């Protein structure tokens, strides 16, 4: 689709946005909104590339199953920082026929949020004329981005599109964690293969590898489809996520930018993990009103779900898990805090504590927790930590091993679903654009996962350690630099920063 909103005159400055998921949509909107704030010599033309031409159809919001709900309440999902109620207001207009106002506390189907993203982009495009901006949607798979006389060349097969700057907005890409199972019957290589999961026979046994919110999505989908067979959820280090409590605003006292600036002497030194952890400990203990038994917290990762989930649900339903309010209040600071920590501390955190952190920080919505508890209570769902291996057995069956109580155990399952999510190692990704850029040295893996970019601008750093190309990246794959890269808040912030830097350089 081509939308011509420009005017005749000076040659347009061209910006390519590669990807039309949440990251690409947020970036395009920011480019349009900020275009009027800079004096670009010539018109601005934005080309939005997408392989299938479907807006917001990535893994997160492309699902058509209403059991896949947002993991955050509706009140936190506005695309606009200055209009926090925008998404709820939009919902109440679009779905008023469903009866009653949509509460800001609701967890709505993710497909509706995808519709919201698409509509906001198209609205922004319609209004782009007032900014002198031309927008074109190109249905093509981008396979490379090459340097060209200080500019960039976006390659789609044999076709080259010259541009003044390119913003890559690849979303989550599943890694090939279990190559030994590739193309084997009964193996589903990604939790985002919704049609394949829907094709699982209801009476067959299923093993879900992983214990994050991605795994929760698989479990609730199987439940919604009426699955009757036995399900095993296996993971290496920790059990299923904790449960979100009711919204409870919390004003941070310890984990604040001011305290961290003082701690790091205004950025002249990096903080150690112990220093940042101490601030979090004080914050959580203030919120809960009691000293935290950190040994018990660490041990909770391996406790049986049958023991922990009922109490987690009760605490959430009664609003007694004040720790969640404190952790949730730090979300907007997570990239900044990560940037202020030294590399060795990040190494330790990722190796020892990241999984436990995610268990508490990325808690599951109460409605999902109640569904999972019913599956556990009825003896259908079993969760295990200590996962070691998975192999193909005879026929369609697979054998999984895990270690518990010092002994190795085996599980046999007809189907295996890889729900470990996106791989932090970009060398594992089956993506032609990332692979070609990596092999050419135009981007490099980040030490802590994903790709390396400039923290403030998102400009991609090449193998030589420089950001020499007018190529930027916005999205989950900047996780090594920004750490917390899946929230709309972080994506919105990064998209705004990249648009600002890019347009300034075009000025």
Q: Could you read off the pLDDT of 377-398 as tens digits, one per residue?
A: 999 999 999 999 999 877 778 9
265: left (phi over 0), alpha (psi -120 to 50) or beta: left
Q: What is the DSSP letter of 351?
A: I
DSSP assignments along 427-481, one per residue? GGB--HHHHHHHHHTSS-B-TTSSB-B-TTT-BBP-TTS---SSEEE-SGGGHHH
pLDDT at 426: 93
**26 pLDDT exceeds 70?**
yes
pLDDT at 295: 86
Tell me: the pLDDT tens digits for 145-183?
999 887 999 999 999 999 999 999 998 888 788 989 988
Distances from the Cα of 394 to the Cα of 100, 199, 413, 414, angstroms? 53, 21, 11, 10
**356 pLDDT exceeds 80?**
yes
**Band of the pLDDT at 430, cuts 50, 70, 90?**
confident
- What is the mean pLDDT of the segment spanning 329-357? 96
pLDDT at 38: 79
**Band of the pLDDT at 301, cuts 50, 70, 90?**
confident
- What is the mean pLDDT of the segment spanning 415-434? 92
The residues, any chain, with a CB within 8 Å of residue 243's CB and separated by 6 or more, are 309, 312, 313, 315, 316, 321, 363, 364, 365, 366, 369
pLDDT at 4: 42
**99 pLDDT exceeds 80?**
no
**Band of the pLDDT at 368, cuts 50, 70, 90?**
very high
pLDDT at 340: 97
Tell me: the pLDDT tens digits for 121-130?
999 999 997 7
d(CA 178, CA 175): 9
pLDDT at 1: 47
Q: How far is CA 282 from the centre of its chain?
A: 28
pLDDT at 328: 93
**Band of the pLDDT at 9, cuts 50, 70, 90?**
low
The residues, any chain, with a CB within 8 Å of residue 372's CB and separated by 6 or more, are 216, 219, 220, 240, 305, 309, 364, 381
Percent of the chain at pLDDT exceeding 90: 78
pTM: 0.93
Q: What are phi and psi of 278, to 5 degrees?
A: -65, -40
Lowest mean pLDDT among 91-95, 138-142, 231-235: 91-95
- What is the mean pLDDT of the segment spanning 18-46? 89
pLDDT at 100: 62
**11 pLDDT exceeds 80?**
no
**6 pLDDT exceeds 60?**
no
Tell me: the pLDDT tens digits for 181-197?
988 899 999 999 999 99
pLDDT at 7: 46
Q: Sort strands 206-209 and 415-418 into parallel, antiparallel or unpaired.
A: parallel
**Band of the pLDDT at 36, cuts 50, 70, 90?**
confident
* Tokens describing residue 198: 């829907």
pLDDT at 5: 41
Q: Do 248 and 321 touch, CB atoms closer than 8 A?
A: no
pLDDT at 226: 97
Element (H, E) at 401: strand 398-404
Tell me: the pLDDT tens digits for 37-69?
877 756 899 999 999 888 888 888 989 999 999
Q: Do 181 and 416 touch, CB atoms closer than 8 A?
A: yes
Find the helix packing angle between 354-361 and 322-329, rounded to 10°: 110
């Amino acid at each position: 689709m081509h939308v011509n909103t420009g005017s005749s005159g000076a040659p347009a400055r061209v910006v390519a946005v590669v990807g039309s998921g949440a990251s690409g949509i947020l970036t395009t909107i920011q480019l349009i909104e900020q275009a009027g704030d800079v004096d670009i010599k010539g018109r601005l033309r934005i080309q939005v590339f997408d392989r299938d031409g479907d807006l917001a159809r990535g893994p997160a919001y492309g699902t058509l199953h209403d059991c896949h709900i947002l993991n955050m309440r509706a009140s936190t999902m506005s695309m606009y920082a200055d209009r926090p109620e925008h998404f709820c207001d939009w919902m109440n207009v679009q779905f008023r026929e469903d009866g009653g106002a949509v509460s800001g506390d609701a967890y709505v189907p993710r497909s509706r949020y995808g519709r919201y993203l698409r509509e906001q982009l198209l609205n922004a495009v319609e209004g782009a004329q007032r900014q002198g901006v031309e927008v074109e949607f190109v249905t093509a798979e981008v396979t490379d981005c090459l340097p060209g006389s200080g500019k960039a060349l976006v390659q789609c097969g044999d076709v080259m599109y010259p541009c003044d700057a390119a913003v890559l907005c690849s979303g989550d890409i599943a890694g090939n964690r279990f190559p030994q199972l590739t193309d084997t019957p009964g193996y589903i290589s990604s939790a985002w293969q919704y049609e394949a999961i829907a094709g699982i026979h209801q009476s067959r046994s299923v093993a879900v590898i992983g214990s994050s919110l991605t795994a929760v999505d698989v479990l609730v989908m199987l439940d919604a489809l009426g699955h009757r067979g036995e399900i095993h959820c296996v993971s290496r280090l920790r059990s299923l996520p904790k449960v979100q409590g009711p919204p409870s605003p919390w004003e941070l006292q310890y984990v604040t930018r001011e305290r961290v600036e003082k701690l790091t002497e205004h950025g002249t030194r990096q903080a150690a993990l112990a220093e940042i952890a101490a601030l979090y400990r004080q914050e959580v203990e203030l919120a809960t009103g009691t000293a935290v038994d950190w040994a018990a917290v660490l041990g909770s990762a391996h406790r049986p779900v049958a023991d922990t989930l009922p109490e987690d649900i009760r605490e959430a339903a009664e609003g007694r898990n004040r720790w969640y309010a404190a952790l949730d209040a730090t979300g907007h600071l997570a990239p900044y805090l990560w940037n202020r920590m030294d590399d060795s501390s990040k190494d330790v955190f990722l190796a020892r504590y990241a999984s436990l952190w995610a268990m508490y920080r990325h808690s599951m919505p109460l409605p999902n927790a109640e569904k999972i508890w019913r599956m556990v209570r009825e003896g259908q769902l079993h969760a295990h930590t200590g996962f070691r291996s998975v192999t193909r057995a005879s026929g369609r069956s697979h054998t999984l091993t895990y270690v518990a109580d010092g002994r190795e155990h085996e599980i046999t399952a007809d189907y295996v679903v890889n729900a470990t999510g996106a791989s932090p190692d970009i060398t594992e990704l089956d993506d032609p654009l990332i692979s070609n850029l990596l092999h050419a040295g135009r981007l490099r893996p980040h030490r802590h996962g994903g790709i390396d970019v400039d923290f403030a601008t998102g400009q991609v750093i090449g193998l030589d350690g420089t950001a020499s190309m007018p190529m930027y990246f916005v999205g989950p794959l900047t996780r090594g630099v920004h750490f917390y890269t899946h929230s709309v808040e972080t994506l919105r912030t990064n998209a705004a920063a990249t648009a600002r830097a890019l347009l300034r350089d075009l000025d």
